[in-house]
Structure 1
Amino acid sequence: MKHLKIIYFSNSWEYLLASCIVIAVLFLVLLFIKRILTAQLYKRARLTTTCWDDILAETISSTCTLSLFVFSLLSGIYILDLPDEVNNVNGHLAAVVFLFQCGLWFSKAMSCWLSVKASSRRADGTRHETINMHIIGFIIRIVIWSIVLLLILDNLGINITALIASLGIGGIAVALAVQNILGDLFASLSIAIDKPFEVGDSIVIDDLNGTVKYVGLKTTRLTSISGEELVISNADLLKSRIHNFKKMQERRMVFTIGVTFDTSSEKLRRISGIIRDIFSHIPTVRLDRVHFSSIGQSSLDFEIAYYVKDSSYTVAMDAQQEINLSLIEHFAKENIEFAFPTQTLYVTENVPGSAGT
């Protein structure tokens, strides 16, 4: 009431009328600018493929009408002849409104960014994806509004040093008490943001092999090749080396065949050509190399490396089966025998009267 008395009784009606006109005009102008700017940004966003103009349009549209009105009100009051104490209070109020509006802008921008990131990474929107994004957004909003609240308290003249210190000590105590849970939680957030794998991916973790079925806040669950469910904590998961076969465009295969020692050098030279001809008739594979690699204990070994033009393990095994059948057919036509482990035993006969008798 004291503030209102100072405004009404310390200034003439001309100043009060001018102040009201400034408040009304400025408020209408700010509303007009907000609507025009938002419309233009949305129009531009529809014509581009980038997400940043969409985020900017959503951020501008989140401007609070009450904030614009308070800003217009304080600007209109500023032209009045007021005591310094009142002007200081108005200045602090303007700072509080500005910080509140900044909190709204940052919160909206981060929410839009998380929505765009989630939709671009996984269009079908699984349940765990939605949960993780909600958790990330909730944590970011807590951080943003905590900072805004501390800045507002500091602007109002409240000493926040002791408050920050107490929060820091309390936060350390809580973090030590639940460090394992927090480790898994932040690991889950890291998986949601960085996307080393997704639900449905076939991955290998150390000596474990399976398909990702669920990514939770604390654990990730896989279905192994043999059918059982593997449950791994998210923190341990990120400490391991992960092989993600979904990212693989081609699968490299290497195998060795051996032929008998009595195979002639002419046939040995023809083997590479036979193998190349076999691969030329299989459309799903691409031959990398074939070499007479080594002379083994019971075979002459050829090493073949090739690429399967598909990441599916079934396609790779189908191709390997076709290769093996073709090798047997062609080697049979050329009278080339596959080697198998053998040993040759030489027996000598002791002749009576020989040396040493």
Structure 2
Amino acid sequence: MLKCHAVNFLVFPQFMSFSIERFFSEPAKDAYQKIVAPYQYGLSVVFLCAIADLIILIAPTPQFFEVIEIPLSISVGVAVCWLGFRLFRQVFDIYLLEAALQRNRKVDSEILLLAKFLANSAIVLVAVLLFAQTHKINLLGLLASLGIGGIAVAFAAQKTLEQVLGGIVIYVDRPFVIDDYIHLADGTFGRVESIGWRSTKIRTSGKGSLVIVPNNVLTQVNIENLTGAKKVISLIYLTFHRIVPEEEKALIRQIILDSTKDIFGIDFRSTEVIFKDIQQQKKGLTQAQINFFLLGSGEVSMDLRKQLLDIAKQNITQKFKEYGIGFELEEKTINVNSPITL
């Protein structure tokens, strides 16, 4: 009898291999060899145990078999989960991860962990539902009894759940990916280092500090993605028909910076004001070159930035008049395209 079972155990994987080779296409054969073949003997054992468990449940059996049915069923469920984890890992490593790498898409390790966790959770859920269905366990009643505790846990973990759901929204919507440079409405500006379950890490430009932003916050604010965007250096020239003292130069520089720092899309931190004193025969004069850096992702965006720059020039003119500073503004603004280097 034992010999017969051993023969069946060895024949079943061979029968599976023969069926695949005989009736399935080449891609299916390749998938079987890569994913299922390494675990075919384990699958055979689980399959035979599951058949035995079903026979005990359905057919009239002695009392002894009914005693061992529950441990056998639990063992089958655990084995199914374990094999499911292994098979999904094979699919994940061989097909999903390879496909992502072939498309040259940046892959975040935390997102991969999330995908594996969700898949493994689904496998466990299916196993639990099958066990409950075959043993006539009322899961709805059990869940209802745990409902109050679940509600309490949900309220306690509300913020965490919001952040996790925000991470899922970011991953699905993809407003940015790892290594993108983004600019947030609160002034945060830098490179995305990682997108996690609960938060996104941004390495700020210039300071190099690490800013950790909850994902639910990112789903509710304006995000400017600067990767692949355009940067235009807009040059404006001012002429003061006198030699401007250093104290007044500092005031002029501050007026210019204050007039543009609240305009989204103009990198006021990179704004440069360069003064040049020119001595002439009768009197001297001072020229100022203002370098504005306009950031945008397309023609429409850049046109809008240039319109905002015109507003900034009007603000500068008004402020100079309030301080009694006389100047001449060169009408033509020179725009120079420049690659973004952050």
Q: TM-score, normalised by structure 1?
A: 0.49
Mind listing any 5+ residue stretches in structure 1 that lack a counterpart?
A: 1-16, 48-52, 260-286, 316-357
Q: Is 1:86 aligned to residue 61 of structure 2?
A: yes
Identity of aligned pairs, percent?
18
Give 1:1-357 correspondences, 5 Å limit.
Answer: 27-36=9-18, 44=26, 54=31, 57-59=34-36, 61-63=38-40, 64-70=43-49, 84-86=59-61, 103=81, 107-108=85-86, 110-112=88-90, 114-115=92-93, 116-118=95-97, 120-121=99-100, 129-191=108-170, 195-206=174-185, 207-227=187-207, 228-246=209-227, 248=228, 251=230, 253=232, 255=234, 312-314=339-341
Q: 1:216 to 1:185 in 2, by over 3 A?
A: same
Aligned length: 248
Between the aligned partners of 2:101 and 2:168, the Cα distance in structure 1 is: 15
Between the aligned partners of 2:113 and 2:165, the Cα distance in structure 1 is: 14
Q: Tell me the secondary structure at the aligned position of residue 239 of structure 1.
A: coil
Deviations 1:293-331 (A, max 9, x none): 99x9977855777866xxx4149xxxxxxxxxxxxxxxx
Q: Tell me the secondary structure at the aligned position of residue 219 of structure 2.
A: helix
Q: Tell me the secondary structure at the aligned position of residue 137 of structure 1.
A: helix
Deviation at 1:44, TM superposition (A): 4.6
Between the aligned partners of 2:31 and 2:175, the Cα distance in structure 1 is: 27
Asked if structure 2 preserves the Cα contact closer than 8 Å seen for 1:129 and 1:192, the reply is no
RMSD: 5.4
Deviation at 1:178, TM superposition (A): 1.0
More relative contact order, 1 or 2 (CA 8 Å, 6+ apart): 2
Asked if structure 2 preserves the Cα contact closer than 8 Å seen for 1:199 and 1:214, the reply is yes
Deviation at 1:55, TM superposition (A): 8.6
Deviation at 1:220, TM superposition (A): 2.3
Q: 1:238 to 1:225 in 2, by over 3 A?
A: same
Deviation at 1:188, TM superposition (A): 3.6
Between the aligned partners of 2:337 and 2:153, the Cα distance in structure 1 is: 52
Between the aligned partners of 1:185 and 1:177, the Cα distance in structure 2 is: 14
Q: Tell me the secondary structure at the aligned position of residue 138 of structure 2.
A: coil
Q: Provide the residue aligned with 1:332 in structure 2.
A: none
Deviation at 1:129, TM superposition (A): 3.1
Q: Tell me the secondary structure at the aligned position of residue 222 of structure 1.
A: strand
Deviations 1:103-126 (A, max 9, x none): 566544544455454555469999
Between the aligned partners of 1:242 and 1:40, the Cα distance in structure 2 is: 55
Q: Provide the residue aligned with 1:263 in structure 2.
A: none
Mind listing any 5+ residue stretches in structure 2 that lack a counterpart?
A: 239-298, 301-306, 318-327
Asked if structure 1 preserves the Cα contact closer than 8 Å seen for 2:181 and 2:191, the reply is yes
Q: Tell me the secondary structure at the aligned position of residue 231 of structure 1.
A: strand
> 117-126 vs 60-69, which deviates more?
117-126
Between the aligned partners of 2:17 and 2:77, the Cα distance in structure 1 is: 22
Q: 1:147 to 1:46 in 2, by over 3 A?
A: closer
Q: Provide the residue aligned with 2:293 in structure 1.
A: none
Deviation at 1:24, TM superposition (A): 6.0
Equivalent position amino acid for 1:65 in 2:
S
Equivalent position amino acid for 2:201 in 1:
R
Q: Tell me the secondary structure at the aligned position of residue 313 of structure 1.
A: coil
Q: Tell me the secondary structure at the aligned position of residue 137 of structure 2.
A: coil
Q: Tell me the secondary structure at the aligned position of residue 12 of structure 2.
A: helix
Deviations 1:313-354 (A, max 9, x none): 149xxxxxxxxxxxxxxxxxxxxxxxxxxxxxxxxxxxxxxx
